[in-house]
Chains A and B, each alone.
Chain A
């Protein structure tokens, strides 16, 4: 096959030497900056044996941290999901002034240092902050309790789903929705029957990334958590605690648990993408037939 390569094929694809070079470069880079750090996590986690590994994970403090981390994700992701759909609907389906500014504001939490994210909630809800005295008078606890941790998580994962949906919905345009409306469907019917099915894969992808990020957030949560063991420590904070107690194997075990969770999420994501590609291909094939 190689021998009978045509000039055109040569011009639309690279010589094997270059291909191998590029694949090699990509893999070396990924090895240095991705695979080896990952391998180091698992190597350190399993260095003291499986016994230590599992003991670290079923430790009551670690279990409490797992529960809290999942709770944060369960609250933060649906909130950002509803927001993401609303924002994408407004941005992608309509033209209005200040759109660039709106999109920039949606992006902003990407670029805000987690430290600053924590700081602003302290300024707002801290005992010395704006709302602190009022909250204390009404015995409502936000900072150094679960609500504060959830808020910080929501902030950090704020743009993920919106950012995933906006380009997708912009690409899809509004003809299908318009057609449905002309045929007499109500707004909600149009949304549920037309828009949602169109964006479901992008939506799921956004949810997966958002969940993964929600479970892994460290900096912002660290500022608002108070680090009370068994009560306000999330998994990433638990890793830091174990590490600071010289329990390196246990720290990496908990870290590897997060990595496994992340890998599962990513596997789900790949599956979603694969399925999306299949549907797209099927749709293209259909169009081709017409």
Chain B
């Protein structure tokens, strides 16, 4: 019902607001991004395809997307638990923990990379302990995952938290009255309500991970075919004055990022419509 009301626009300022939005977005985002696309038209399709499918580049996609996926998965499960704990329970220092969750957004990625490397290297606080049981984190693909988990941590927590806060207690109580166990209530009542938020958080985290550069290069080891991420390959090509190669790979990443984001926004739009209907 509300949905139908929204379609009638008695409010003013649509043209102004949309016009300004498009103008500003064009200047800051679209024109610069189109520069990358136009630069690749210097290349023929076969040249472009050859650049973006060399074994080294393919190996880097595998690492970048694989590690990003794992990191986003880790953050989705951990983020759900953390959001749950922050909303539902109380424990000493909860406020502080809640405030600090955003920190990975604010800390420069290079600082995060350096600090994580110091911590997870064989002679670091955590790396030292893990070395005793034969696990190496820094300078392996595992290090990439650690860095990505850090930088994308807030997304899932921050998308799940508000939804969890808004969940009506009555529904859970009703379920309980009808004899549902706590697990059943969670599985069939709470989790479905959280699913869109979890999905959004996951995809935002995933998208952020794919592009990450600053923190990863410190901890990854950067071995070709093993621990070299795609953004590093772009930088590598730039340092060798290969602008076309760099933009070709950049365009591949841009297109994938755009598709991912479009997918979640469509999912959200779809779920909102279903919700409203």
Measured CB to CB, the residues of A under 8 A from B are: 7-8, 10-15, 19, 22-23, 25-27, 29-30, 32-38, 40-41, 44, 79, 82-83, 86-87, 89-90, 93-96, 99-116, 119-121, 123-124, 129-130, 151, 154-155, 158, 173-175, 177-178, 181, 187, 190-191, 209, 212-213, 215-219, 222, 235-236, 239-240, 243, 251-252, 255, 258-259, 261-263, 265-267, 269-270
Kindly provide the distance from the CB of B175 to the nearest chain A CB, expressed in whole angstroms: 7
Among B81, B112, B257, contact of A26 (Cβ-Cβ < 8 Å): B81
Decide if A87 touches B111 in the complex (CB within 8 Å): no
Given the known A-B contacts A94-B14, A101-B262, A213-B106, are A30 and B82 also in contact in the complex, defined by CB atoms under 8 Å? Answer: yes
Given the known A-B contacts A26-B78, A124-B31, A151-B28, are A94 and B9 also in contact in the complex, defined by CB atoms under 8 Å? Answer: yes
Decide if B180 touches A187 in the complex (CB within 8 Å): no
Considering only CB atoms, which chain B residue lies closest to A29 in the complex? B78
Which A residues lie within 8 Å of B110 (CB)? 218, 236, 239-240
Considering only CB atoms, which chain B residue lies closest to A95 in the complex? B7
One digit per residue, 1 when the CB lies within 8 angstroms of any chain A CB and 0 when it does not, for chain B 238-269 equals: 10000100110010011001101110011001
Q: How far is the CA of A7 from the CA of B13 in the complex (A)?
A: 55
Q: How far is the CA of A86 from the CA of B15 in the complex (A)?
A: 10
Decide if A22 touches B13 in the complex (CB within 8 Å): no
Measured CB to CB, the residues of B under 8 A from A are: 2, 5-7, 9-14, 16-18, 20-21, 24-25, 28-33, 35-36, 39, 78, 81-82, 84-86, 88-89, 91, 95, 97-112, 114-116, 118-119, 124-126, 146, 149-150, 153, 169, 172-173, 175-177, 180-182, 185, 204, 207-208, 210-214, 230-231, 234-235, 238, 243, 246-247, 250, 253-254, 257-258, 260-262, 265-266, 269
Q: How far is the CA of A82 from the CA of B114 in the complex (A)?
A: 35
Decide if A174 touches B17 in the complex (CB within 8 Å): no
Which A residues lie within 8 Å of B29 (CB)? 105, 108-109, 155, 158
Kindly provide the distance from the CB of B145 to the nearest chain A CB, expressed in whole angstroms: 11
Q: How far is the CA of A96 from the CA of B85 in the complex (A)?
A: 39
Kindly provide the distance from the CB of A51 to the nearest chain B CB, expressed in whole angstroms: 22
Which A residues lie within 8 Å of B18 (CB)? 86, 90, 94, 96
Q: How far is the CA of A251 from the CA of B113 in the complex (A)?
A: 13
A-B contact list, 30 entries, CB within 8 Å: A11-B180, A11-B185, A12-B185, A15-B182, A22-B81, A23-B85, A26-B78, A29-B81, A29-B82, A30-B82, A40-B124, A82-B20, A83-B24, A86-B20, A90-B17, A94-B6, A95-B9, A107-B261, A107-B265, A110-B208, A115-B213, A123-B36, A130-B35, A155-B32, A174-B11, A258-B107, A265-B106, A266-B103, A269-B99, A269-B102
Decide if A36 touches B126 in the complex (CB within 8 Å): yes
Which B residues lie within 8 Å of A267 (CB)? 99
Which A residues lie within 8 Å of B204 (CB)? 107, 110
Considering only CB atoms, which chain A residue lies closest to B88 in the complex? A13
6 smallest CB-CB distances across A and B, nearest first, come from: A11-B176, A113-B211, A262-B106, A212-B106, A111-B207, A236-B108
Given the known A-B contacts A40-B119, A181-B10, are A119 and B247 also in contact in the complex, defined by CB atoms under 8 Å? Answer: yes
Given the known A-B contacts A113-B211, A119-B246, A266-B99, are A129 and B35 also in contact in the complex, defined by CB atoms under 8 Å? Answer: yes
Given the known A-B contacts A86-B24, A111-B208, A119-B238, are A36 and B119 also in contact in the complex, defined by CB atoms under 8 Å? Answer: yes
Decide if A219 touches B105 in the complex (CB within 8 Å): no
Decide if B89 touches A19 in the complex (CB within 8 Å): yes
Q: How far is the CA of A7 from the CA of B182 in the complex (A)?
A: 10
Decide if B254 touches A239 in the complex (CB within 8 Å): no
Decide if B97 touches A94 in the complex (CB within 8 Å): no
Decide if B81 touches A14 in the complex (CB within 8 Å): no
Among A26, A106, A178, A239, contact of B111 (Cβ-Cβ < 8 Å): A239
Q: How far is the CA of A112 from the CA of B85 in the complex (A)?
A: 32
Considering only CB atoms, which chain A residue lies closest to B149 in the complex? A33
Kindly provide the distance from the CB of A234 to the nearest chain B CB, expressed in whole angstroms: 9
Decide if B85 touches A93 in the complex (CB within 8 Å): no
Considering only CB atoms, which chain A residue lies closest to B30 in the complex? A105
Which A residues lie within 8 Å of B114 (CB)? 239, 243, 251-252, 255
> Which of B86, B91, B103, B266 has the most A CB atoms < 10 Å from its CB?
B103
Which A residues lie within 8 Å of B88 (CB)? 13
Decide if B36 touches A40 in the complex (CB within 8 Å): no
Decide if B81 touches A258 in the complex (CB within 8 Å): no
Which A residues lie within 8 Å of B89 (CB)? 19, 22-23
Kindly provide the distance from the CB of B113 to the nearest chain A CB, expressed in whole angstroms: 9
Q: How far is the CA of A189 from the CA of B171 in the complex (A)?
A: 40
Q: How far is the CA of A79 from the CA of B252 in the complex (A)?
A: 29
Which A residues lie within 8 Å of B119 (CB)? 36-37, 40
Q: How far is the CA of A209 from the CA of B126 in the complex (A)?
A: 30
Decide if B32 touches A121 in the complex (CB within 8 Å): yes
Considering only CB atoms, which chain A residue lies closest to B34 in the complex? A120
Decide if B10 touches A40 in the complex (CB within 8 Å): no
Decide if A123 touches B243 in the complex (CB within 8 Å): yes
Considering only CB atoms, which chain A residue lies closest to B9 in the complex? A94
